[in-house]
Chains A and B, each alone.
Chain A
Amino acid sequence: MRLSKKVSLISIAVLLLVVVVIGAVLLSYAKSQIIEHTIEQAKAEHRNLNTSFAEMTAYYLADEDSPAVQRTLVIYCFSRFATDTSVLIHGAETLYTRTALDSAQLLPLQIGEEQKVFSGEVEGRNILLVGQIVSLNDSYYSVYRVEDITYIYNNIQQMIVRFILIGIAGLFIGTLLILLLVHRLTKPLLMLKEASAQIARGDYYIRADIHTRDEVGELAQDFNAMADAVQSHIDKLTDMNERQSLFISGLTHEYKTPMTSILLHSETLLTADLDKISTENSLAHIHDQCRFLEQLTHKMLSLLVLEREITPQKISLPELLEDVSQNCFQNLMDHGTPLTIRCEADSVTGDYDLIKSLLINLIDNASKASEPGQHIHLRAYKQTIEVSDNGVGIPEDSLPFVFDPFYMSDSSRSKKGGGSGLGLAIARRIAEAHGAKLLIESKPGQGTTVRLIMP
């Protein structure tokens, strides 16, 4: 069963129990109080009546009066005080009554007794009977007060009915309030449940939007923290997967073009009788493409080799920059892009050959991006080695991808520059292997700056 249902049912049951018990106790108490009060009042009134009646009778009655006169006088005096409920009996004779009830039979009185009370049902009516012996001139009179208190019982019954109605209404409102409150209290739990179900379905960005200041709120916070962790892990994995599949598709594409021309030319040579020039041309293409594939394989291997740890050593920067410049000299001369060197730092720690190949690669890129006559700057300062050019630059939307393997900002992947698209990817791997940062800044038409910042 759902928690909200459980809590609601239990609360409603408790509420019901409380209402019923309190109602029952209160009602029975009220009932006995009312009846007791009625009896006490009746007794008091009856006593007053009797006293008044006795005093008046005693005042007027004389011993010498004949019994008939005495009888008339007694009746007269009684009638002065009597109400509709009063009954006067003398011996077996009823002197005064307005009711049909035989009071003496219901409540026989003995001489010398105090006030007596009878309360009960007679012929379907609730009757309250108070009886008292009044002594007058050595004669004993039974005086009764016969009261129909059915209306009191009716009132009590009406009160009970009203109470039950009010109780039901109260229960109804109480139930509604409980349901509302329980719903409000358990709503965060439901939201949490919904959120976790969505996350389980793969919507890792879902969070629980709960800000209550209780245990549920804390749980939600922890839950969100957990979801953050899961999402960042998933994102990392997805990113890695994407990079990997991009790498593979890039590699496949990179192999496809040379493979196509090798297949094309070799099949042509095999099946057709070409003239000597065409034959040589086809063979030259096959040769070039095989060489390109060989270089590509070599670069791929160096990417794989870089997975290993490197052995760092102290590198003298002036020596390194000189070495790099000598290596690039011929290439830069061919392009007509001279290199200027500024060395403002002594040394860095790293793998000499790898850093050197990284710098040669950056300078090679800078040269390809520049027009003849434009300078390329190689500069070392603090822990930074910087290669900058004033060449064509890289479009802004391409910048985030330039370190991705096989990425070329020109969609046709034309090999005008002769690159494979692996150079910067290898450079980044080299930087990563050193724990260094490789940052690129570029503006189309103004040039590019690549900085290697050693840790």
Chain B
Amino acid sequence: MSKNRILVVEDDPAISDGIAVNLLYSGYDHVLIRDGNEAAQALLHDHSFDLALLDIMLPGLDGFALFEHVKKYDIPVIFITAKTDSASEIKGLLNGAEDYIVKPFDVMTLLVRIEKVLNRAGKLDQILRFSNITIDLQEHTVRRDEAEILLKPMEFEVLVLLVRHKNRTIPRDKILNEVWGTDFFGDTRTVDVHIANIRKKLGVDGLIKTIPKYGYRLEG
């Protein structure tokens, strides 16, 4: 599959730059627009987006009004809002394909939301490749070259997260939150144990790097 294309409509230059640099780094193509009216105009000519990130408070059309335009092209939407009270308004709009994120948000949260929405829309590759390792998300299998490596479900999820965000340090607590969920009562040592198991089973040293006091990163 080719790169996913994301429309970002955010008026604050510092925030939109921050989003853009991360989208680029994670291998997404993106188009940045800073005004609601401009975005609506641009969509008339170019609407081949896999996802749209819409700020609520925009000059010109606001995010909700812009949503009506984006909807026409079946582009899934993630709203960005600074106000917790507009979150309830967004909830009223959501119909499964959309999500929202409240400022201030961190990079991992944004990226994971984007992946989830893209996945729901069937726009993510179901086969992940990294060095000589192949992960089949549909069959839940991991192969090194041709040999299948048996991973426990949580180990599998951790590996997927690392591969998806390769060359990016993922904090331990983020891994814990994304894989085990926020309701999980374990501590970050659970993550360490699972990383150790993955390293052993993959049999490749130095693939998963430990960043002391912070987290892990898959390099290559």
The answer for the CA separation of A270 and B167 in the assembled complex, in Å, is 12
- Shortest Cβ gap from B8 to chain A (Å): 12
**Residue among B21, B22, B82, B83 making CB contact with A281, cutoff 8 Å:** B21
Interface residues of A in 273-313 (CB under 8 A from B): 273-274, 278, 281-282, 285, 288-289
Binding site for B on A (CB under 8 A): 249, 253, 256-261, 263-265, 267-268, 270-274, 278, 281-282, 285, 288-289, 410-415
Is the pair A271, B15 in contact by a Cβ cutoff of 8 Å? no
Is the pair B22, A268 in contact by a Cβ cutoff of 8 Å? yes
Binding site for A on B (CB under 8 A): 11-12, 14-15, 17-19, 21-22, 25, 57-60, 62, 82-83, 103-108, 167-171, 214, 217
Q: Which residues of B contact A260 (CB under 8 A)?
A: 12, 15, 18, 82, 103-105
- Can you list 22 A-B contacts (CB < 8 A)? A253-B82, A260-B18, A261-B12, A261-B15, A261-B18, A263-B104, A263-B105, A264-B18, A265-B17, A268-B25, A271-B168, A271-B217, A272-B168, A274-B25, A278-B21, A282-B17, A282-B18, A282-B21, A288-B14, A412-B58, A412-B59, A414-B12
The answer for the CA separation of A263 and B167 in the assembled complex, in Å, is 19
Instruction: Evaluate whether A413 and B168 lie within 8 angstroms (CB atoms) in the complex, with A264-B107, A274-B25 already known.
Output: no
The answer for the CA separation of A270 and B174 in the assembled complex, in Å, is 14
Q: A253-B82, A263-B106 are in contact. List 8 more A-B contacts (CB 8 A).
A: A260-B103, A264-B22, A264-B107, A268-B22, A271-B168, A271-B169, A281-B17, A412-B59
Is the pair A259, B104 in contact by a Cβ cutoff of 8 Å? yes
Is the pair B15, A410 in contact by a Cβ cutoff of 8 Å? no
Q: Which residues of A contact B108 (CB under 8 A)?
A: 267, 271
Is the pair B19, A264 in contact by a Cβ cutoff of 8 Å? yes
- Shortest Cβ gap from B88 to chain A (Å): 15
Q: Which residues of A contact B59 (CB under 8 A)?
A: 410, 412, 414
The answer for the CA separation of A315 and B168 in the assembled complex, in Å, is 61
- Shortest Cβ gap from A35 to chain B (Å): 95
Is the pair B22, A273 in contact by a Cβ cutoff of 8 Å? no
Is the pair A270, B18 in contact by a Cβ cutoff of 8 Å? no
Instruction: Evaluate whether A257 and B167 lie within 8 angstroms (CB atoms) in the complex, with A268-B22, A412-B57, A412-B62 already known.
Output: no
Instruction: Evaluate whether A264 and B15 lie within 8 angstroms (CB atoms) in the complex, with A253-B83, A272-B167 already known.
Output: yes
**Residue among B11, B18, B214 making CB contact with A268, cutoff 8 Å:** B18
Instruction: Evaluate whether A271 and B18 lie within 8 angstroms (CB atoms) in the complex, with A257-B12, A412-B59, A412-B62 already known.
Output: no
Is the pair B11, A414 in contact by a Cβ cutoff of 8 Å? yes
The answer for the CA separation of A271 and B25 in the assembled complex, in Å, is 11
Q: Which residues of A contact B83 (CB under 8 A)?
A: 249, 253
The answer for the CA separation of A415 and B59 in the assembled complex, in Å, is 11
Q: Which residues of A contact B62 (CB under 8 A)?
A: 411-412
The answer for the CA separation of A414 and B83 in the assembled complex, in Å, is 15
Is the pair A274, B14 in contact by a Cβ cutoff of 8 Å? no
**Residue among A258, A285, A411 making CB contact with B57, cutoff 8 Å:** A411
- Shortest Cβ gap from B169 to chain A (Å): 4
The answer for the CA separation of A278 and B62 in the assembled complex, in Å, is 29
The answer for the CA separation of A258 and B104 in the assembled complex, in Å, is 9
The answer for the CA separation of A75 and B211 in the assembled complex, in Å, is 159
Is the pair B14, A265 in contact by a Cβ cutoff of 8 Å? yes
Is the pair A289, B168 in contact by a Cβ cutoff of 8 Å? no
Most chain A beta carbons < 10 A, residue from B14, B21, B59, B106: B14
Complex A-B, nearest 7 residue pairs according to Cβ-Cβ distance, in ascending order: A264-B18, A261-B14, A260-B104, A271-B169, A412-B59, A285-B14, A260-B103
- Give the residue name and chain of the A residue nearest to B83 (CB): A253
**Residue among B18, B19, B167, B170 making CB contact with A273, cutoff 8 Å:** B167
Q: Which residues of B contact A281 (CB under 8 A)?
A: 17, 21
Q: Which residues of B contact A267 (CB under 8 A)?
A: 106-108
Is the pair B168, A412 in contact by a Cβ cutoff of 8 Å? no
Is the pair B103, A256 in contact by a Cβ cutoff of 8 Å? yes
**Residue among A253, A257, A411, A412 making CB contact with B15, cutoff 8 Å:** A257
Instruction: Evaluate whether A268 and B21 lie within 8 angstroms (CB atoms) in the complex, with A253-B82, A261-B14, A285-B14 already known.
Output: yes
The answer for the CA separation of A282 and B13 in the assembled complex, in Å, is 11
Q: Which residues of B contact A265 (CB under 8 A)?
A: 14, 17-18
**Residue among A268, A411, A413 making CB contact with B107, cutoff 8 Å:** A268
Q: Which residues of B contact A278 (CB under 8 A)?
A: 21
- Shortest Cβ gap from B103 to chain A (Å): 4
Q: Which residues of A contact B11 (CB under 8 A)?
A: 412, 414
Q: Which residues of B contact A415 (CB under 8 A)?
A: 12
Q: Which residues of B contact A273 (CB under 8 A)?
A: 167
Instruction: Evaluate whether A285 and B17 lie within 8 angstroms (CB atoms) in the complex, with A267-B106, A412-B62 already known.
Output: yes
Q: Which residues of B contact A288 (CB under 8 A)?
A: 14
Most chain B beta carbons < 10 A, residue from A260, A271, A415: A271
- Shortest Cβ gap from B181 to chain A (Å): 21
Is the pair A264, B106 in contact by a Cβ cutoff of 8 Å? yes
- Give the residue name and chain of the B residue nearest to A257 (CB): B12
Q: Which residues of A contact B82 (CB under 8 A)?
A: 253, 256-257, 260
- Give the residue name and chain of the A residue nearest to B36 (CB): A412
- Shortest Cβ gap from B217 to chain A (Å): 8
Q: Which residues of B contact A270 (CB under 8 A)?
A: 169, 214
- Shortest Cβ gap from B87 to chain A (Å): 13
The answer for the CA separation of A261 and B18 in the assembled complex, in Å, is 7
The answer for the CA separation of A281 and B14 in the assembled complex, in Å, is 9
Q: Which residues of A contact B171 (CB under 8 A)?
A: 271
- Give the residue name and chain of the A residue nearest to B110 (CB): A264
